[in-house]
Chain A
Amino acid sequence: MLTDKDIENKLIKFICHNFLVEPDEFNLEESLVDQGVIDSIGLVEISAFMEKEFGITVSEADMDRKNFGSVKKMVAFLVFKGA
């Protein structure tokens, strides 16, 4: 069973690897789009990563700022989805 911290670490690792940023270059509480870490395609890539890595399904209704508005919110969303 993954802990919240495990999920967060996996997500951060993916973001750093895929979008070429260092962990200290972005804030976990703020929108990744707002911080310039990802663009629109980046959101598609993160969503695909979530489905593949954590075995969940992201539906259209899930795609809002409440779930994707920051790394912390993404972690909470993954936990809620039973990742």
Chain B
Amino acid sequence: MCGISGILRFNGDVGDFRTRITKMTASLAHRGPDAWGIYTGRDIALGHARLSIVDIAAGHQPMDTSEFVISYNGEVYNYIELREELEKEGMVFTTRSDTEVVIKAYQAWGENAFPKFNGQFALLLWDKKNRRLIAARDRYGVRPLFVTRWQGAWYFASEMKAFDSLPGFSRDYDIQHLFEHGLLWNTIGSDTVYKGIRTVEPGTVEIYVNEAQPSVHRYYSLGCMPQDPPVSFAEAQEELRDMLRDAVRLRLRSDVPVGMYLSGGIDSSVLALLTSQVMKERFKSFSVTFGDSDFDESAYQNEMVAFIKSEHHATRIDYDSISDNFLETIRHTERPLFRTAPVPLFLLSELVRENNIKVVITGEASDEILFGYDSYKELKMLQFWARSPRSAIRPLLIKRLYPHLRHYADAKAYGLMKLYYEDFLDSHANALVGLNIRIRNNTALASAFNKEHAVKYSQDDLIGKMTATYPAGFGDWTLLQQNQHLEMATLLDGYLLSSQGDRMSLGHGIEGRFPYLDHRLVERTFSWPDAYKLNGFSQKHILRSAFRGRIPDSITDRAKLPYQAPDLRAFIRNGEPVPLVRQHLSPERIREYGIFDERYVARFLRRFSERPPDKVGYRDNMTLVFMLSAQIARYWAKNPLQTSLDERLRTVDITQQDTEGDHGDAHRQRH
């Protein structure tokens, strides 16, 4: 895994290319600590910080061929098969790396190459002949790529902090986008929380030729691959086992040892089983454990470790681990969080690094594709109830929604819960589907913002913006399928894969690999009947059924416990905010940044002197983490860390001297 950066000049002097691209690359060095390189031409500069995993000796980047130069972050797991296909078409290879396969695939097939890739990537590919820059990302947004237009050039980078090194550039919040992020846990489409910074959207290719906006081509959206008719439930279980095994097999392709994350839940336990079957040798597994028993899953982790006989390592998290590492965590996430759960994963990747592992298999996205989230259950309950809204029986399902939450099981409180959900009977089937509840709960964040910004929630505006991004066929899907798309576009992309995924693992130079995001698996499971995935209220039903008896029953049959870490308990001790909170939410700092309302923040913090953290609900937890992380992200944007590169690790330094003739040709082609 790596960090990539690029500059495409279209107008006038943008300073010293070499210095600029080197500084950008230096700010991404944590993503690729093994080597680095730069390429500069007349109008183009590419930078690369490398984490060496495949063809360690020859896979250096930027990789230069006669027609293309590439700076590429990621893995195309089926590169061996693609290489064979390309060799049959007459392509000749000089390395064993997947990077060269990506270049030659584009050379042979153009944009039709991307649907053939099975992997996770973000890339910048300079087409020398046509003088155009191709920027692309994988289907689900595992690897990041940001773009900004600044003083006569387009700038590209894996992380937005690379832009902070540009002279005069200031990474400022777009407050309405920040609020949108607060509502959805992500911004919509290509927006980010910062002014003027876009993300290349997952599943798209963008082509830049000059100062004009790029042409954007989407090569993937959920549900776009035709599928055979669904098979029986028994056959589907067999399909699931086969597809997952193959997804794991491809993701074990590596020239360095691969380890795995073990949470204690069914998703990672299934992957651990399959890894042990495919690898056939002992591997290292890694877990987070918590001092606070409300969050700890070590009993299940240990059970699985004994079952697969891995060499296990765990990092124990207490309240101090969260508060002490929150600042550095936010430097990497670059955007606000809602929970502290990324922090333990940041510390876990450090443990992995200390154990000389660079690649880990991890279980994200099973909850999205197999309906593991509560939003699917809520939606199903509301759909059932809405068919007969006056029924006294149907809403009784509420009691079964969250049996572990006291106020849901309590007979008296049932009436209030019914009242709460009743408000969604009319809206649950609108274009926001399962997001309605999350948005409603998060709208209160509007009160926290500085009144000068006048942030406002308009459901109509949000629906308009969201529906513009929906894939073809969305309207024909079931509500649960629609909800899958929304969960993948918001929580998965904007939080789990980025703030809690890519940024936390690559903060310590560790590459995560996600078998549940093998597109063949995602597409096939998407086509199955809802009841295979959510049967009654049995979440990820088919996964449990397919692996029951193959991993310990205590894991297949356990109730789902969302991965969480202590929030308020880490930040408020004995009614007093810890120093980190006092510093970043101080009246002076709130006033200086102007994001939040000074009175609101002061009142919010005062409440904890009268109410211990254990007695507050989801919303206060979320509000504190959101405000604190938004302030800290702003702090880092204003005070970027100065980083430098180790000259001894420079493996590529190419300066392309364009001739006048080339300029002329290029000019003619552009116009």
Contact = CB atoms under 8 A, between A and B. Distances in A.
B423 A62 contact: no
Contact of A36 (B415, B457, B603): B457
A44 B440 contact: no
Nearest to B617: A41
Given A22-B447, A60-B414, A43 B442 contact: no
B419 interface: yes
Interface in B418-451: 418-423, 440-444, 446-448
B413 interface: yes
B180 to A, nearest CB: 14
Contacts of A68: 416, 419
A1 interface: no
B384 interface: no
Contact of B419 (A20, A21, A43): A43
Interface residues of A, number: 27
Contact of A37 (B444, B448, B617): B444
Contacts of B420: 33, 39-40, 43
Contacts of A60: 411-412, 414-415
Interface string B601-635: 00110010000000001110000000000000000
Given A41-B618, A47-B416, A63-B416, A36 B423 contact: no
B444 A36 contact: yes
Contacts of A65: 419, 422-423
A22 B599 CA distance: 11
Contacts of A35: 443
Nearest to A67: B419
Contact of A20 (B421, B457, B604, B617): B604
Contacts of B443: 35-36
B441 A39 contact: yes
B593 interface: no
A43 B416 contact: yes
Given A60-B415, A61-B415, A44 B407 contact: yes
A21 B412 contact: no
A61 B419 CA distance: 11
Contacts of B417: 40, 43
Contact of B444 (A19, A34, A59, A61): A19
A68 to B, nearest CB: 5
B600 interface: yes
A71 to B, nearest CB: 14
A63 B410 CA distance: 14
Contacts of B413: 44
Interface in A63-77: 63-65, 68
Which has the most chain B C-beta neighbours within 10 Å: A33, A40, A42, A43? A40
B415 A63 contact: yes
A37 B417 CA distance: 16
Main SS class of interface, B: helix
Given A43-B420, A65-B422, A21 B444 contact: yes
Which has the most chain A C-beta neighbours within 10 Å: B407, B415, B446? B415
Nearest to B413: A44
A19 B419 CA distance: 18
Nearest to A46: B416
A29 interface: no
A10 to B, nearest CB: 18
Interface in A2-37: 19-22, 25, 31, 33-37
A39 B619 contact: yes
Contacts of B448: 20
A20 B412 contact: no
Nearest to B423: A33
Nearest to B448: A20
A40 to B, nearest CB: 4
Given A41-B407, A68-B419, A33 B444 contact: no
Contact of B447 (A20, A40, A44, A64): A20
Contacts of A64: 415, 418-419, 422
Interface string B270-314: 000000000000000000000000000000000000000000000
Interface string B156-169: 00000000000000
Contacts of A63: 415-416, 418-419
Contacts of A61: 415
A25 B440 contact: no
A21 B446 CA distance: 10
Nearest to A32: B423
A25 B415 CA distance: 27
Contacts of A21: 444, 447
Contacts of B407: 40-41, 44
Given A20-B447, A41-B617, A62 B440 contact: no
Nearest to A47: B416
Given A20-B600, A33-B423, A60-B411, A40 B440 contact: no
B318 to A, nearest CB: 27
Contact of B416 (A22, A34, A40): A40
A31 B603 CA distance: 24
Nearest to B619: A39
A34 B418 CA distance: 14
Given A20-B447, A21-B447, A25-B447, A36 B416 contact: no
A25 to B, nearest CB: 6
B415 A44 contact: no
Ranked nearest first, the 5 interchain pairs of A and B with the lowest CB-CB distance are A36-B443, A63-B415, A41-B617, A60-B415, A40-B420
9 contacts: A20-B607, A38-B444, A40-B407, A40-B416, A40-B421, A43-B420, A47-B416, A65-B423, A68-B419
Interface of A: 19-22, 25, 31, 33-44, 47, 59-65, 68
Given A33-B440, A43-B419, A65-B422, 16 more contacts: A25-B447, A31-B423, A33-B420, A36-B440, A36-B443, A36-B444, A38-B444, A39-B440, A39-B618, A40-B417, A40-B421, A41-B407, A41-B618, A42-B619, A60-B414, A63-B418
